[in-house]
Structure 1
Amino acid sequence: MKQPLAYVHPEANIAENVVIEPFVSIDKDVIIGEGTRIGSSVTIMPGVRIGKNCRIFPGAVIGAAPQDLKFRGEYSTVEIGDNTTIREFVTINRGTVAKGKTVVGNNCLLMAYVHVAHDCVVGNDVILVNNTQLAGEVVIDDYAILGGMTAVHQFVHVGSHVMVSGGSLVRKDIPPFIKAGREPLSYVGINSIGLRRRNFSNEKIREVQEIYRYIYQKGLNISQAVEIIEAEMPASTERDEVLLFIKDSKRGIIRGYLPD
């Protein structure tokens, strides 16, 4: 259902039951799936693909050119999965030659004034609270929650099931399953409440706690901790996810909390 005051380019591919409110602008080379609702004054630029049953609230701008001086107009896209909610005045920029696309997964909630820069990859079931700002080529894994007014440095990787305190400056990678807080941003425990909500067993939660005791609480450096975890803890999905994250980290992981 398209309002007469909305503009939809004739080359846009819009499912029949998409709701488009007044003053929306949808350019060419846009695909929008069934059941999605586009709020008033939303701007959707070329190269955007939006899945099914999404809700885009008023004032959002999706698919604008990257804010990257290296961008030379190359073709790139924004890809948004199904059942994702994008609140008021969110901005999501297209990719660059670096990755070619910016991705937001399924079942995500991007609250008001969130910015997702070029070439970011946001996983499934992620919550970005109001005013969270992602610089270019940031990766946010599934089920992560970033508190309001969090600022994430370019190239940072945030692991799955992570909870980041509001107002944080994220300069280093944050490994999976943990809570991060304080300034500078530090490990402050595992995200046990989030893990229980996602049906992790008590045994698995204790396993994750033991992994991070080696990494942050036994006076070891990261290389020593990784070596001991590999030698002494049996292989599991969670153990291997943490170890692979640390080994692949380009910026290094956040430190443990050091009391004053």
Structure 2
Amino acid sequence: MTRPASIHPTAQVDPAAVIGANVGIGAYSVIGADVHVGEGTVIGPHVVIEGPTRIGRDNRIAQFASLGGDPQDKKFGGEHTELVIGDRNLIREFVTINRGTGDGGGFTRIGNDNWVLAYVHIAHDCQIGNNVVFSNYSALAGHVEIGDWTILSGYSGVHQFCKVGAHAFIGMGCLVGHDVPPFVTMANEQQGRPRGINSEGLKRRGFDAPRIAAIKRAYRTLYMAGLSLPEAREQLATQARESDDVRAMLDFIDRSERALAR
């Protein structure tokens, strides 16, 4: 059943904001101009959302989150930039997500069905896929890309302009300073290093034994065979003929702009 938005009388909602049906806005929250909140989204108390920000359907935003603030970039000059958040995301307490910058594409984007847990920071121009888990206190610098189904453990961090591929796992306290291919686990050291593939996560998501075996073979080629990156890439190209997952790893390597984590 469609109902009007439920807005607590102490909340401050700018008249220019667009609030969808079935939206709830808690006490003392502040919703700025040029904010669009999609149907069914629930915003807790003491939340601040600045615009331009677009929020999709059925999100859950907990108290004290701050979304859509100016990017923390000295080059930012007040140009029109946006934060775009998809559907069914959980955003917990004290999360901060900034808008994009003019020279970084203009958009920070969050996909669908992500869990963004307490005290997470997502900086300007980050591009986040779907079904990503950000554990408590994890943080992204600007211009980071995170693929679908990635997990970032507590207190982990990703350096600016780095890419992390789909289904990767970043271990607790791990600092990522290079591009991380799909399926790879980074763990054990402050300056994180590859430590195998995320096999347990792949099993949970329905990857069968032959798919996982192909990914393990590709990992051994890339990290354990003593090959240079061009040599490893040549062998991966052969393996990719029989595995779409290896093809995804190869495509990631080919578009990597920073040094690959090795």
Query: TM-score normalised by the shorter chain: which range applies?
Result: over 0.9
Name the counterpart of 1:31: 36
Pair 17,231 (structure 1): closer, same or farther in 2 beyond 3 Å:
closer
Deviation at 1:235, TM superposition (A): 4.2
Secondary structure at the counterpart of residue 203 of structure 2: helix
Q: Is the 8 A contact 1:180 1:186 kept in 2?
A: yes
Deviation at 1:236, TM superposition (A): 2.9
Identity %: 44
Residue ranges of structure 2 left out of the alignment (5+ in a row): 1-5
Q: Is the 8 A contact 1:28 1:46 kept in 2?
A: yes
Q: How many residues align?
A: 255
1:138 paired with 2:156, answer no
Structure 2 CA distance, aligned partners of 1:167 and 1:127? 15
Deviation at 1:7, TM superposition (A): 0.5
Structure 2 CA distance, aligned partners of 1:29 and 1:234? 48
1:129 paired with 2:135, answer yes
Q: Is the 8 A contact 1:82 1:105 kept in 2?
A: yes
1:171 paired with 2:177, answer yes
4+ residue stretches of structure 1 with deviation over 4 A? none
1:6 paired with 2:35, answer no
Deviation at 1:20, TM superposition (A): 0.5
Q: Is the 8 A contact 1:120 1:139 kept in 2?
A: yes
**Which deviates further from its counterpart, 171-180 or 182-191?**
182-191
Structure 2 CA distance, aligned partners of 1:42 and 1:102? 19
Structure 2 CA distance, aligned partners of 1:13 and 1:114? 26
**TM-score, with structure 2 as normaliser:** 0.95
Given candidates 160, 171, 195, the residue that maps to 1:154 is: 160
Structure 1 CA distance, aligned partners of 2:21 and 2:219? 50
Q: Is the 8 A contact 2:131 2:149 kept in 1?
A: yes
Name the counterpart of 2:237: 230
Deviation at 1:231, TM superposition (A): 3.2
Given candidates 39, 42, 50, the residue that maps to 2:47 is: 42
Structure 2 CA distance, aligned partners of 1:108 and 1:127? 6
Q: Deviations over 1:185-230 (max 9, x none)?
A: 1111111111111111110000000011111111111111111221
Structure 2 CA distance, aligned partners of 1:145 and 1:163? 5
**TM-score, with structure 1 as normaliser:** 0.96
CA RMSD, 1 decimal: 1.0
Name the counterpart of 1:120: 126
Structure 2 CA distance, aligned partners of 1:152 and 1:195? 22
Structure 2 CA distance, aligned partners of 1:211 and 1:222? 12
Name the counterpart of 1:239: 246
Name the counterpart of 1:53: 58
* 2:174 aligned partner, one-letter code: S
* 1:26 aligned partner, one-letter code: I
Q: Is the 8 A contact 2:137 2:156 kept in 1?
A: yes
Given candidates 83, 90, 101, the residue that maps to 2:88 is: 83
Q: Is the 8 A contact 1:246 1:252 kept in 2?
A: no
Q: Is the 8 A contact 1:164 1:181 kept in 2?
A: yes
Residue ranges of structure 1 left out of the alignment (5+ in a row): 256-260
Q: Is the 8 A contact 1:85 1:108 kept in 2?
A: yes
Q: Is the 8 A contact 2:8 2:26 kept in 1?
A: yes
Name the counterpart of 1:211: 218
Q: Is the 8 A contact 1:53 1:82 kept in 2?
A: yes
Secondary structure at the counterpart of residue 67 of structure 2: strand
Structure 2 CA distance, aligned partners of 1:230 and 1:162? 21
Q: Is the 8 A contact 2:26 2:43 kept in 1?
A: yes
Structure 1 CA distance, aligned partners of 2:79 and 2:125? 13
Structure 1 CA distance, aligned partners of 2:149 and 2:240? 25
Q: Is the 8 A contact 2:33 2:51 kept in 1?
A: yes
Secondary structure at the counterpart of residue 234 of structure 1: helix
